Chain A
Amino acid sequence: MIDFGVVTLARAQFALTALYHFLFVPLTLGLSMILVIMEAVYVMTGGEIWKRMTQFWGVLFGINFAMGVATGITMEFQFGTNWAYYSHYVGDIFGTPLALEGLMAFFLESTMVGLFFFGWDRLSRVAHLIVTACVALGSSLSALWILVANAWMQYPVGAGFNPQTMRMELLSFKDVFFNPVAQAKFVHTVAAGYVVGSVFVLAISAWYLMRRRNVDVARRSMAVAASFGLACALSVVVLGDESGYVAGENQKMKVAAIEAEWHTQKPPAKFTLFGFPDLEKHVTRDELDVPWMLGLIATRSTDKPVLGINDLVAQNRVRIASGVEAYAALKALRASPGDAAPRARFAAHQRDLGYGLLLLRYVHDPAVATPRQIDDAAWSTVPNVLVLFWSFRMMVAIGFFLIALFATAFYFASRHRLREQRWFLRVAFWSLPLPWIAAELGWIVAEYGRQPWAIDGVLPTFLGASPVPASHVWLSLSGFVVFYSALAVVDVFLLVRTIRRGPDGLGFWPPHSSEPVAVPAGAAR
């Protein structure tokens, strides 16, 4: 029997480590690109300060990069320890992009990071700029391959189930790589990472300006962060809209749950800006709607419907019945592999095998499932509406706030008025956690919204977990909590210390340590 306690623990462990790891990933993506911009200005103008700025932000990038590596590796191990059946079932497809990520992106990134830090006095300006660009490219390639793997979990294409090996096997690498979900997720996620990096630079620079320290570095950094951040924040909206459209095509239940759309509306569907979803009565109270908007986002049309949760559940009941047929055929095929009749029957219903497997939560043999159990299984395909509804809206609200923040920063920077706007500097500094909150909420929308599937429509999450004792998972989970807490303390300590010391304290700028640096009384060092 499947121990659902172990499944919950394994899920909690993966969620914890993934959420934690995702604190570092977007900053690595964003800061690496900002380093490229700053160094490119240095190469083009020869201004020494731009080199020193690159070096200073590079130190913060290095601290974050090390944390990202340390926390990312443990996630891959979990596929073997806690998700052994998942790894068997889909490892043939899922493992390919992960391996490519290690071989292509991570090796490039890691090698170039070394050259970035130790190559300043050994490489020409242009060569070092190429190195920095390779670090950024490696980060983005890393994100690309991870998101190709992740997108396959959301929309499994280019693969088929082999009853002999009892696993999904890769049929078309091209289809997996050019998965529309992967393309949409990649650009959206990378642009979001650029926003995180920009807010980081903006907020830290605002802190320096408030204290009248490192003014030359902070002004330039804010100008870069404001312009780059504004462009990226606007891109996030456009690319997020594309992500919504792709989800509307391929993950209708997720879209319906995000919108708390219980019933199919007459097209074009309205978008619920605000409301209170009632999970018991399947209604959303006190709705504030925007006409047409959901229809335009999810279908790019005014005449196509966006299916509601009730209708999707009804469709899933039919697919579960078909999945029961596939399951019975698979059972017969396993007993007599050469038999043509079950093979043909399996081929006819293979697409719905995953839906049949959902019944294993309620009954040993799906063939004897009662209508009530089929109904329960159909409703289990609805993710947590409340969590998705609010996570999505908070993410979007933060996104629009950040656009306003960058636009204001850009306006003040272009008019050389950043230093005088102390109210804005305070807002910019206290906005520091917001992009991380938005990024984590985005992850929750994407991954929690995929439930109950590990692979959408193919493998229910509970079937992928390893049959290990709960005590083992508790042990490793506790280890992660302790280890990651220690890492968090070290990370925050290093970042805060580096920021407090600043380019002046670290000797980056001004270049002569004997030069007097104006530090107002009481300024924190």
Chain B
Amino acid sequence: MFEEHDRQAGRDAESEVCATVNTLDMIDANSFRPGIPAAVRPALISPRMRDQLGDEAPWRRRLSGELVVLVAIKFAALALLWWLFFSPTHRTDVDPEAASRRLGVTDVRTPDLPGAAPVRAQGARRD
């Protein structure tokens, strides 16, 4: 039901799509394609884009700085989470003996208190 309109709209959009693709290709050639040798990259950039970007464009330095800060924050948050929930002092180790005590099928009863280290059987796996 929409074919005629679609065809017309497709023709109208064609020129803008081409322009977008060209712009993206120019930007990509300079910054995002590791496979292209640095020496060749300037040849792929239009003179106008080369003037705008330059060899050490400020936005690249700013982006690098932001990425470094973000990654550092991420590592700090992960370290905090690990310490809070998964560090040896906070996590709950469960092995067959601990499970046995939990179900009360082991005669030696150790209270399931927080931080109480379960008796580890020889060769028992950590879960």
Contacts and interface: CB of A to CB of B under 8 A. Distances in A.
B106 A334 contact: yes
For B94, B107, B114, the residue with the greatest tally of chain A CB atoms inside 10 Å of its CB is B94
Contacts of A357: 103
A2 B13 CA distance: 67
Q: Is the interface of B mostly helix, strand, loop or mixed?
A: helix
Interface residues of A, number: 48
Interface stretch (B1-9, B55-63, B68-76): B1-9
Given A45-B3, A84-B94, A463-B103, A121 B85 contact: no
A467 B105 CA distance: 17
A335 B107 CA distance: 8
Contacts of A121: 17, 20-21, 24-25
B111 interface: yes
B114 A167 contact: no
Q: Is the interface of A mostly helix, strand, loop or mixed?
A: helix
Contact of B10 (A47, A81, A466, A469): A47
B96 A166 contact: yes
Contacts of A334: 100, 105-106
Interface in A46-84: 46-50, 52, 77, 80-81, 84
A280 B70 CA distance: 57
Contacts of B107: 335
Contacts of A365: 104
A165 B123 CA distance: 11
Contacts of B21: 121
A166 B99 contact: yes
A98 B54 CA distance: 48
A455 interface: no
A468 B92 contact: yes
B51 interface: no
Interface of B: 1-3, 5-7, 9-10, 12-14, 16-17, 20-21, 24-25, 84-86, 90-96, 98-100, 102-107, 111-114, 116, 127
Given A2-B112, A46-B6, A87-B94, 12 more contacts: A46-B7, A47-B2, A47-B6, A48-B10, A80-B86, A81-B92, A85-B94, A88-B95, A360-B104, A467-B92, A467-B113, A472-B114
